[in-house]
Amino acid sequence: MEKIQESSVFMENKNLIDLEVLSTEQIDKIIRKAKKIMQKPSEYRHSCDGKILATLFYEPSTRTQMSFQTAMLKLGGRTIGFDNPMNSSVSKGENLKDTITIIGGYADIIAIRHPAEGTAMASSLYAGVPVINCGDGGHLHPTQTLTDIVTLSCEKGRLDNLKIGICGDLLNGRTVHSLIKTLAKYDNNSFVLISTKELSVPLYIIDILEKNGCKYELSNSLAESVKDLDVLYMTRIQRERFASEEEYETQKNVFVLDKEKLSKAKDDMIILHPLPRVNEITVDIDDDPRALYFKQAQYGMYGRMALILLLLQDEEFFIKSKKTEVCEHKCKNPNCITANEPYLPHLCYEKKGMTMCDFCDKRIY
């Protein structure tokens, strides 16, 4: 294995690929900044004058794309980008490296969503400007987690000592994985993981909970588990990640939060959802004071404003990367970006004696 050069673009840029590499101090710094912006937004309206954000969305989005665009506009900057790669030269076969290299020459910061795991990380190798991961397949969605923790901090007043129920598609829900990884770093959080057996959290997430000494339980009953939660985080079943429609049909509508189940919850429990909602929360709950999912999306915009400012302007806000090396073996995960972009270097890191792909975090050998 040879070391990646210290001087590579990858090492020098500040990117947000995975919240896991941030310390709790860095996370708290983003939250503090978001709260300051919320209190006096007018003070920040020229903070990014002359700066350009590129939003490259290879997958559909409402909230993440538009909240990033709004965030940059509110900071005085401008935006470019696409929300359908088929309207760009991707439709002519342009590879990721070329697209990102070109856009890195136009924009000051890039926000990217892509169906392949590890795409934001791959983009960071070529962009020359900070890259923000807006969702890479079923892997991670760190700015949704930022949205969630800004909401928790504002609405519960803390990120520790919480009993958090997470319900729905815990296998494919990238927001779930990012949220658990982040909240596991804070003291005395416990988790109730509510799902069918088929859609339970991946083992690597259980490993993280155990490594951090977090209490957790697996449940298949929302009605039973809702009673003593501080936070209920509902998620939709990720239809687009299923191999067949038949498989999806067996999983949809298994867990639905309705008025009857909510009547068993604590008065100060809050309901979050990354959205979009499909059927998993009935619409008649929207007016319940505990239903905070629409407010949550607004908090997300302030979190993204804070993140853009810290990545572009705060020299001390250095987001470190993992210790990466070049490996002779290729990642075997068919959903990894390396499966479709063969020129990418085989980057890996060591974890508990195993060699992990640096793009998708799956085991290589």
**Interface positions with ligand CP (CB under 6 A):** 61-65, 144, 274-276
**Closest CB to ligand CP among residues 133, 321:** 133
Give burial (CB, 10 Å; 0-12/13-18/19+) of 109: buried
Least distance from ligand CP to the Cβ atom of residue 56, Å = 13
What residues does 334 pair with on adjacent strands? none
Name 144's Cβ contacts closer than 8 Å, sequence gap at least 6: 64, 135, 174, 175, 178, 179, 274, 300
**Closest CB to ligand CP among residues 23, 62:** 62
Least distance from ligand CP to the Cβ atom of residue 332, Å = 28
**Closest CB to ligand CP among residues 41, 276:** 276
Least distance from ligand CP to the Cβ atom of residue 116, Å = 16
**Closest CB to ligand CP among residues 194, 272:** 272
**Closest CB to ligand CP among residues 164, 272:** 272
**Closest CB to ligand CP among residues 174, 322:** 174
Q: Is the dihedral of CA 330, 141, 68, 319 positive or negative?
A: negative
Angle at 191 between CA 323 and CA 237, to 5 degrees: 85
**Closest CB to ligand CP among residues 127, 146:** 146
Inter-residue contact 306 to 37 (CB < 8 Å): yes
Q: Tell me the C-alpha distance between 171 and 58, whole Å.
A: 22
Least distance from ligand CP to the Cβ atom of residue 71, Å = 13
Long-range contacts of 65-71 (CB under 8 A, 24+ apart): 65/111, 65/113, 65/134, 67/297, 67/300, 67/301, 67/304, 68/111, 68/132, 68/134, 68/143, 68/304, 68/308, 70/301, 71/301, 71/302, 71/304, 71/305, 71/308
Least distance from ligand CP to the Cβ atom of residue 90, Å = 19
Least distance from ligand CP to the Cβ atom of residue 297, Å = 7
Least distance from ligand CP to the Cβ atom of residue 139, Å = 13
Residue 55 phi, psi dihedral angles, 5° rounding: -105, 115
